[in-house]
Amino acid sequence: MHLQKSLSWFFLIFLIFSIAGNLDAANGPAKNDDFLQVEKVVDGDTFWVINKKGEREKIRLIGVDTPEVRRSKNKEIGHYGKEASDFVKNLLDGQRVRLEYDVAKYDRYKRTLAYVYLEDGTFLNAHLVKEGYAAVMTVPPNVKHADLFVDLQRMARKKKKGLWNIP
């Protein structure tokens, strides 16, 4: 019985990490023309791409929220905001990404909402939560990967990764 429970937990953890590492497999192999050039990273959860029409398009990651890097009239600079922003800049600088949409394609600020995949198959939204650079922020109706993000956040908090490593 104990061995069966251990194997069940092992399988669950293996499945979560497999999915987080490359959720793109369910959609088949990505074609080269599916990828867009990243133009500029704004912060940990927002960046610009050049879309297929050659226009600049602002992208906001679905399901995650990184701490703020700038003070605004409504928000203060957040703990671990600079680190999250730098992490994303290092991942996306000079890269191309593939966007996957959910139910609602735009937010109230007219940003394109997307799940983002790097050319190496990394699921960016999940990777940020897993490494402690982002917290889960579920905004219905875009809930396709919400359960995965919650599981990854639970593990990051348990391991005190990134923004969860509060002194």
Tell me how far apart the alpha carbons of residues 58 and 70 are, in angstroms, rounded to a whole number: 18
Is 108 marked active-site? no
The residue annotated as part of the active site, out of 60, 71, 83, 119, is 60
Is 60 marked active-site? yes
Segment holding 111, helix H or strand E: none
DSSP string, 74-89: S-PPPTTHHHHHHHHH
Determine the angle formed by the axes of helices 146-158 and 2-21, rounding to 10 degrees: 110
The residue annotated as part of the active site, out of 96, 111, 131, 157, is 111
3-state secondary structure of 108: coil
Tell me how far apart the alpha carbons of residues 166 and 161 are, in angstroms, rounded to a whole number: 9
Contacts with 1 (C-beta within 8 Å, 6 or more apart), sequence order: none
Is 83 marked active-site? no
The residue annotated as part of the active site, out of 68, 83, 119, 154, is 68
Residues noted as catalytic: 60, 68, 111
